[in-house]
Structure 1
Amino acid sequence: MKDIWDYAIEVQSELNEICKPLEEGNIKFAYDRIFTDYSVITLVNYDRNWLEFCKTIRSDAFNNHKANRLYLSEVLSTPIGKLNHFLWPTILLDGNDSMLIDKFNVANGISFFQKKHDIIECWSFVMDCTHEQGDLFLLDNMNFLKQFILYFNHHSKSLVETLITSKISLPKLPKELVLSIINQKRQPQAITRDIQIQKYSINITENNRINLTKREVECLQNLALGKSIKEIADILDISDRTVEVYLNNIKIKSGYNHRSQLVSMYLKSDINILK
């Protein structure tokens, strides 16, 4: 009988096409839907390490890994309607979870989740171990990730419907596990990070302003100083690829296509910190 991982491989072309907007940042993605009977369907964009990581860590119905218990603790206790997020606490992981991170090259991640009356939906975005400060990169791009969630929901309807009608799902979450998580005394400050990303407003024209993150401004400032991508990466202690992603974000926000235009915009602008 076909299982959920066979289905992920079967629809890899269609799912990877939906996930193309994530390729620029080399972001891996997974979608989960938990039903009232605690059955779970999942879609994973196809990357061998990422697929095997998801398959391994979700074996035995989420029961063996600290990471999954923390994840479920956040998901099951979220109030109805609100879109919450949970930054993967890799610093807290040890034992099997730490070994999995090393084995499958999966490290920093963030999950968004929303509870409705009959389902809980979860959207997870993950970086690999080679991405320096991947958690900050994801947090800097929260608005983009939220926009992708809307995009994914619209374009994945047929894939999700096939999973539901075909009853292709993971084993149900054990009721005793769910109850123990719901009833435990939670200490959310120990497993979540409510980080406020400082935003900066910069004018493109007299009547047109855009908002940039601190990292985007730092990249722009160094670009205006004549620094190369490699030099900016060394100064900020991030990868060349990450610098390019930040500069591409600024291009999208400003509507400019060339770095010389970004430099000109910066030199003519004033920058305000948004409260």
Structure 2
Amino acid sequence: MDFFQNILNLDIAKNLDLNSILNFPCTIFMKDKNSKYLGANEYLSNLLGFKDSEDLVGCSDRDLWPTDYELLLENDKKVMHQNLPNTFYESGTLPNNSIINAISHKVPLYSRENKVIGIMGISIIIHENDSIQTHREKENKIQLTTRQIDCLYYLALGMTAKLIANKLNISSRTVEHYIETIKTKLNCYNRSELIAKALELPMIKTRVLNQQLMLLKSDDYKI
């Protein structure tokens, strides 16, 4: 049984749609302090040319990303040293020499003794024709305020305007105003279309998926 199957068997996973998360078109991985992989989803293993995700276990970033591993390791160490989640723009060269760019969100991975022993991460691959700078420019052109992004994120999680208002400590009317403004900016006609478009945006998609993964950081999940 592979590492991620163990996650699916946990009691904490009963209320999570982890099967869909693990098959989502993004890379999901766990690494120890030496950047050796403890587990990964099929998407990442296939991307790197492995037939099975278990074949990737034990490999290091230096093995898999020989031209890019130093920055990846630096980012991992930052998360472990600060003991805090963090988001990075990262690049990697695949076995076929093509370069991928990604937005990676990483969180500390704990032992049963509550010691940091590595990181858990999720990376959303940016369109192959987009450089990281181009992607940043595209997101900046959307020009959403921090509050609007927060509203869009909670809306994508399925929250009502009232729940979002309570979460952000603002009025429901203000939330509705933000939502209408976002609909105009993203050229959406209704709330369903807005949520669908929100989940196409890496800045929202990454937070939504990470919110699910962060639920694994409880006392029910230590390795």
TM more than 0.5: no
TM-score normalized by the length of structure 1: 0.38
